[in-house]
Amino acid sequence: MPGVLALLLLSFIRAFESFEVPAIVGLAGNIEVLSTSIYQSSRATTPPNFGQAGAYSVCLLAFLACLLYFYGRLSRHAHRYQTITGKGYRPRVIDLGRGRYASMLVLVAILLFVIGLPLAIIVFVSFQPFFGSFSIASLSRWMLKNYATVIGPGFFRSTLVNTLVLGTVTASLVVPFTALCAWLAVRRKPAAWVLDQLATAPLTFPSIVMGVAFLQVFVNLPFPLYGTLTSVIVASAVAYLPYGMRYAYAGVLQIHSDLEEASTASGAPQMQTFIKIVLPLLSASMISCWLFVFLLAVRAMSLPLLLVGPGSSLVAVSLFDLWQNGQVTELAAMGTVWVALMTCVSGCFYLVARRYRILTA
Amino acid sequence: MLRVGNLVKQYINEAGERKGGVSGVSFDVKEGELFTLLGPSGCGKTTTLRSIAGLEHPDSGLIQLDGRDLFDSRSDIQLPMYERDIGMVFQSYAIWPHMSVFENAAYPLRTRRNGHLSREEIESRVMRSLEMVGLSEYRNRSATKLSGGQQQRLALARALVREPKLLLLDEPLSNLDALLREQMRSEIKRLQTEWGVTTIYVTHDQSEAMALSDRVAVLNNGMIAQMGTPIDIYDRPRCEFVANFIGRTNLLRGTLASQVRAGDIAAVHTSIGAIRCMFSSSMTAGHQISFVIRPENIELQRLNGVASDTAPNSVSGLIQGKVFLGEVAEYTIGVDGDHKLIARTHPSIGLNRGDRVRASFPENKVIAICD
């Protein structure tokens, strides 16, 4: 029961801080929620009212802090209800008999409906000159102009490159940093719990609030950082630290401390032990962590939304802008290219992981 | 060579109770000696070993290796482990899975402090230690593809490759199956003798300790209960704990009839009659004492009909149980109601349950515990 309650609360929190859906669906009908109000007051009004955005942010944060407190209390005793223990856990294969065809059909249908259908519509629209419903006549209007716009040199291409750079650099910053933090925290080095707490703190911030916070910081910095890709990278790296931390933490827990002590006994100081023993043994979780952070960073919209400038456009933000401008067919083309690219990235990682036997299915 | 003086390291659990650790352990280990810390789990043997290694920070005490202070609570010296020149083998072997056999063994030579070694030097020293443990042909194999016994050998090669002043072995055989354990036991003894390295061996298995050690310290509750050669500890246990922990034993209690001096043989009155035993220290008459008789020192003789003359240091009884152990048979003998004696003899004696026997034991093999 506490599990269900905690889940309920968590979904509530997630829905409360979500930005994308209310922004795309709600703004058109003038339905404003807190998260979109923050955006409206700092972007859509001229001049931007940062004070109002800040006030909204504090309200949202305060409310979420209360909810998270209750969530923490609910899930604190979660281990009492755990059903999977480390010892002798074997997933059991249930023979469904004839039912397996039916269940397979249902699963495929759900997949098709949830992922296949929207994707198909996006792909369809991307070949159209204007946004319209599917008809026989529309088939005769196939064209590749949208793709030419997206892939050809110019704004869209630089957007793609920017986004890839953002993902790569963010992931490459987060992974080694959290590996070190997690190691220090797991091995209970003095004061390492402070690092752990600091690296976990960004989890409590809704990303739109995080965006406002970083916006204020960058605007007030003496050197010009506002609007640059670097500023987005810094914000993303901070925002995704907690995820990196969880991956690395679990990874370090799997390394028996004897392996490190054996290194110390061999005459290696701490740092050498970390580099020669801990890092290679962590490589599996670090690779999956890298991919995870990369994907999070490139698809995030609400965090970079307030931070990007003319020279630092990103795919997710551009897609949002395209939507607001009504350029649905370009949006579709760009979305298709992007989905294809990301599928490739995941595929590559899967191959790499399997090659080094990281994934044990 | 190694001196441990009044070492204290206590652990307090959440409830505030003392749990494990050591409270004042002192011993000296001589050059080239194999010294064993023996005791049940939680007796403090591993804490002592880890303190010597530098993996634990003791509360107080002194640890000196070869005249150098490794730890001294009075002058606040705590040398980090990587500067202690100690090789260690862990219970879990701790073989690094991301390295080959050769790389595992070469690691201690490639640490910063040994950075000046040439490639050829490393190669020859690693191969020498791999040959010692019979792993030279596996040098390029991935360490994870070794069997348990091979991983153990590799751990030994890795610990010895730097030719450390001191080798620490933390229950190195406890993860091996019985046959392999005996093989590795003699292997360790051979390696230790050949390299002549001073070794501290930690185990809870008394037969390992007996077979390997030059000297043994039996630990109980964070203190050394007795220290001596294996024979000394087996034949002359100084307290009931040691008598019970080392080998099978019959422990009896009684009242001392007369005053004794060290080396005397005197009678002790027990509920199964007067039994004469060896005293290693002087004691006044009327003392409540306990004494031990090892099962293999009891001689059994079948009694036909009525019990005849009663010889000194013998009791008659009924065989209540028999366990065939291969090279010996172990009998449980019921004496005078509630008392039980365990005796071990060659199985060819052919006694069975329900047989009446006379159990006799030579008086110099009955050892009084004078604690």
Chain region(s) in chain B for CATH 3.40.50.300: 2-240
Chain B residue with minimal CA distance to A277? Answer: B96
CB A306 within 8 A of CB A42: yes
Flag if A258 and B91 touch (Cβ within 8 Å). Answer: yes
According to the model, what pLDDT value does residue B270 have? 86
pLDDT level of residue A223 (50, 70, 90 thresholds): confident
φ, ψ of residue B18 in degrees (nearest 5): -75, 135
pLDDT for B215 equals 95
Q: How would you class B14 by CB atoms within 10 Å of its CB: exposed for 0-12, middle for 13-18, buried for 19 or more?
A: exposed
Contact (CB<8Å) B158/A256 = no
Contact B90 A268 (CB under 8 A): no
ipTM of the complex model = 0.79
Q: For the residues A40-47, what does the mean pLDDT come to?
A: 70
| Most confident listed range (A48-57, A149-158, B167-176) | B167-176
Mean pLDDT of all residues belonging to chain B: 88
pLDDT over threshold 80, residue A203: no
**Residue B135 burial class via C-beta count within 10 angstroms: exposed 0-12, middle 13-18, buried 19 and up:** buried
Q: For A187-208, what is the mean pLDDT?
A: 76
Of the candidates B6, B16, B64, B28, which has an alpha carbon nearest to the alpha carbon of residue B227? Answer: B28
CB–CB contacts below 8 A, A to B? 67
Mean pLDDT for A204-218 is 81
d(CA B186, CA B199): 15
- Report the side by side order of strands in the sheet with B339-345: B299-302, B356-360, B314-324, B329-335, B339-345
Q: Hey, which residues 96-135 in chain A have their CB within 8 Å of chain B?
A: none
- Determine the pLDDT at residue A75: 60
Of B55, B82, B98, the CB nearest to A267: B82
Residue with tokens 């360490």: B143
- What local confidence, expressed as pLDDT, does residue B159 receive? 92
How many DSSP H helices and E strands does chain A contain? 19, 0
Residue-level pLDDT at B3: 93
A261 vs B: CB within 8 A = yes
Do A261 and B94 lie within an 8 Å CB cutoff?
yes
- Tell me how far apart the terminal alpha carbons of chain B are, to the nearest angstrom: 30
- CB-based contact A258 B82, cutoff 8 Å: no
Q: What is the pLDDT of residue A360?
A: 39
Per-residue pLDDT tens for A284-320? 788 888 888 888 888 887 788 878 777 778 888 888 8
In three-state secondary structure terms, B76 is coil
Cβ neighbours of B111 in A, within 8 Å? 266-269, 272
Token reading at B54: 């530098």
> Is B100 in a helix, a strand, or coil?
strand
Q: Min CA distance, A70 vs chain B (Å)?
A: 27
Q: Which of B50, B82, B175 to mutate to test binding with chain A, by most A CBs within 10 Å of its CB?
A: B82
- A287: which chain B residues are within 8 Å (Cβ-Cβ)? none
Contacting residues of A for B88, CB less than 8 Å apart:
261-262, 265
Q: Would the CB atoms of A266 and B80 count as touching at under 8 Å?
A: no
Q: What pLDDT was estimated at residue A126?
A: 79
A265 shares contact with chain B (CB less than 8 Å): yes
Question: Is the CB of A255 inside 8 Å of chain B's CB atoms?
Answer: no
- ∠ CA B37-B39-B42, rounded to 5°: 110
- Interface residue B160 vs chain A (CB under 8 A): no
Kindly give the pairing relationship between strand B198-203 and strand B166-170.
Answer: parallel
Q: Answer yes or no: are the C-beta atoms of B198 and B228 closer than 8 Å.
A: no
Contact, B191 vs B155, CB < 8 A? no
What are the residues whose beta carbons fall under 8 Å from the beta carbon of B268, sequence distance 6 or more?
A: B254, B255, B256, B257, B274, B275, B276, B277, B289, B291, B368
The per-residue pLDDT for A359 is: 42
Amino acid identity at A345: V
Q: Domain ranges in chain A? A: 1-78, 101-143, 149-361
Q: What is the DSSP letter of B92?
A: T
A38 pLDDT band, cuts 50/70/90, is confident
Contact assessment for residue A290 and residue A23, using Cβ atoms and an 8 Å cutoff? no
Cβ contacts of B144 on chain A, cutoff 8 Å: none
Residues of B in contact with A264 (CB under 8 A): 54-55, 80-82
Confirm if B170 and B90 have CB atoms less than 8 A apart: yes
Hey, is the C-beta of B172 within 8 angstroms of any chain A C-beta?
A: no
pLDDT > 80? residue B16: no
Q: Which comes out higher in pLDDT, residue B32 or A202?
A: B32
Look up the CATH superfamily of B2-240: P-loop containing nucleotide triphosphate hydrolases (3.40.50.300)
Interval B242-272: pLDDT, tens: 998 988 889 888 888 888 888 888 888 888 8
Query: Please, are residues B39 and B204 in contact by the beta-carbon 8 Å criterion?
Result: yes
Residue closest to A142 by CA, chosen among A155, A129, A153: A129
Q: What is the pLDDT of residue A151?
A: 72
CB contact under 8 A, B96 and A267: no
Residues B92, A265: C-beta atoms closer than 8 Å: no
Tell whether A189 lies on the interface with B, counting CB pairs under 8 A. no
pLDDT classification of A134: cutoffs 50, 70, 90: low
Which pairing describes strands B34-38 and B198-203: parallel, antiparallel, or unpaired? parallel
Work out the burial of residue B170: count CB atoms within 10 Å of its CB; fewer than 13 is exposed, 13-18 middle, 19 or more buried: buried
Distance from first CA to last CA of chain A, Å, rounded? 31
In which residue are the tokens 């403090």 written?
B44
Measured from the Cβ of residue A227, the count of other Cβ atoms closer than 10 Å reads 17
Kindly state whether B107 is in contact with chain A, defined as any CB-CB distance less than 8 angstroms: yes
DSSP structural state of residue A308: B
Residue A83 has pLDDT above 50, yes or no: no
CA distance A313 to A301: 11
Chain region(s) in chain B for CATH 2.40.50.100: 248-299+309-369
pLDDT given at position B335? 86
Over chain A, what is the mean pLDDT? 78
Q: Per the CB < 8 Å rule, is B94 touching A268?
A: no
**Of A325 and A46, more confident:** A325
- pLDDT, position B154: 92
Based on the number of CB atoms within 10 Å of its own CB, is B163 exposed (0-12), middle (13-18) or buried (19 or more)? Answer: middle
Contact B132, B194 (CB under 8 A): yes
Q: To 10 degrees, the CA torsion angle through A111, A112, A116, A121?
A: -140
* Strand B60-65 versus strand B68-72 pairing type: antiparallel
A266, A283, A286: best to mutate for the B interface, most B CBs within 10 A:
A266
Cα A247–Cα A252–Cα A258 angle in degrees, nearest 5: 170
pLDDT digits (tens, 9 = 90+) for A186-196: 887 777 778 77
pLDDT of residue A89: 45
- Residue B7's pLDDT is 92
A285 at interface of B, judged by CB pairs closer than 8 A: no
Distance CA B93, CA B112 (A): 23
Instruction: Find which of B70, B107, B116, B126 to mutate to test the A interface (most A CBs within 10 Å of its CB).
Output: B107
Which amino acid is located at A151 in the chain?
Answer: I
Strand, coil or helix: B339: strand
Cβ contact, residue pair B90, A261, below 8 Å: yes
CA distances from B41 to B7, B12, B60, B218, B304 (A): 18, 16, 22, 12, 47
Nearest CA in chain A to B162: A266
Kindly report the nearest CA distance between residue B164 and chain A, in angstroms.
Answer: 10
Tell me if the domain spanning B248-299+309-369 has CATH number 3.40.30.110. no
Chain B: give the shortest CA distance to residue A357, in Å: 12
Q: What is the pLDDT, as a whole number, of residue B51?
A: 93
CATH fold of A149-361 reads MetI-like fold (1.10.3720)
The residue count for chain B: 371
Share of chain B above pLDDT 70, in %: 97
Residue type, B133: V
User: Around Cβ A148, how many Cβ atoms within 10 Å?
Assistant: 11
Each residue of B96-150: pLDDT tens digit? 988 899 999 999 998 866 567 888 888 999 999 998 888 889 989 888 888 888 8
Number of Cβ within 10 Å of residue B165's Cβ equals: 17
Kindly indicate the confidence band of residue A77, based on its pLDDT and cuts at 50, 70 and 90.
Answer: low
Of the candidates A259, A268, A280, the beta carbon closest to that of B82 is on A268
pLDDT on residue A88: 42
pLDDT at B167 over 90: yes
State yes or no: cis peptide before B80, omega within 30 of 0.
no
Per-residue confidence band for A84, with pLDDT thresholds at 50, 70 and 90: very low
Tens digits of per-residue pLDDT, B317-340? 889 989 988 888 999 998 876 788
Average pLDDT over residues B229-235: 91
Interface residue B96 vs chain A (CB under 8 A): yes
Rounded distance between C-alpha atoms, residue A201 and residue A195, angstroms: 10
Quick check: A265 and B53 CB within 8 A?
yes
Separation in Å, CA B271 to CA A170, B135, B244, B274: 82, 59, 21, 8
For residue A158, is pLDDT > 90? no
Residue with tokens 């070949």: A127
- Residues A210 and A197: their CA atoms lie apart, in Å, by 17
Please spell the DSSP secondary structure of B293-306, one letter per residue: E-GGG-EEEE--SS
Confidence of residue A356 (pLDDT cuts 50, 70, 90): low
CA–CA distances in Å: residue A306 to residues A173, B80, B190, B202, B350: 22, 50, 72, 63, 94
Is residue B29 predicted with pLDDT exceeding 90? yes
